Amino acid sequence: MAAIQRFEELECWQAGRQLARLIYQLSGDAAFAQDVGLREQMRQAAVTVVSSIAEGFEGQAQASFIERLYHARAAVGQLRAQSYIALDGQYIEQSAFYEVYELAERCARQLHRLIVYLETQPGAYRLREQRAEYVATV
């Protein structure tokens, strides 16, 4: 199995992207759009999921990557909770709620599996590019 070279290859990032797309689509509805607070919180949480995964992946340290994955997972949890509020406020239908919930659960499971895997690789260094030699001249 080849090593993942780009964050876009991560299944959890792909699921997060789908989730963000769905949240933006649902929150663009006229009734939902009037609740600016909830709409913006949900959109921000959705953006946080994909952004945190990308930020952690692009960083150099594995511990930092794991920390960002936990942050992304927390944002997924926020989305699940906020989806209940959107359902209760009748901004989304039951079917849309289930779609968000299932996608959020899948993303959370993928994040969890990646975190567990990385935590079993202590001391692993995450540089993907070859280190360049720099020579200082005076």
User: How many domains does one find in the chain?
Assistant: 1
7 Cβ contact partners less than 8 Å away, ≥ 6 residues apart: 13, 53, 54, 57, 58
Residue 132 lies inside a defined structural domain of this protein: no
pLDDT 10s digits, 67-79: 999 999 999 999 9
Residue 81 lies inside a defined structural domain of this protein: yes
From the CB of residue 22, how many other CB atoms can be counted at a distance below 10 Å? 17
pLDDT at residue 136 in the model: 57
Residue 92 lies inside a defined structural domain of this protein: yes
Residue 16 lies inside a defined structural domain of this protein: yes
| Contact of 86 with 92, CB cutoff 8 Å | yes
Residue 2 lies inside a defined structural domain of this protein: no
Torsion of the alpha carbons at 77, 82, 87 and 92, rounded to the nearest 10: -100
| CATH at 35 | 1.20.1440.60
Q: Which portions of the chain are predicted below pLDDT 70? A: 1-2, 123-138
Residue 94 lies inside a defined structural domain of this protein: yes
pTM recorded for the entire structure: 0.85
- Residues in the chain, how many? 138
Can you give the residue range of the structural domain that contains 86?
Answer: 9-119
pLDDT at residue 132 in the model: 44
Integer CA distances (angstroms), 44 to 6, 36, 50, 65, 78, in order = 23, 12, 10, 20, 10
Residue 76 lies inside a defined structural domain of this protein: yes
pLDDT at residue 3 in the model: 83
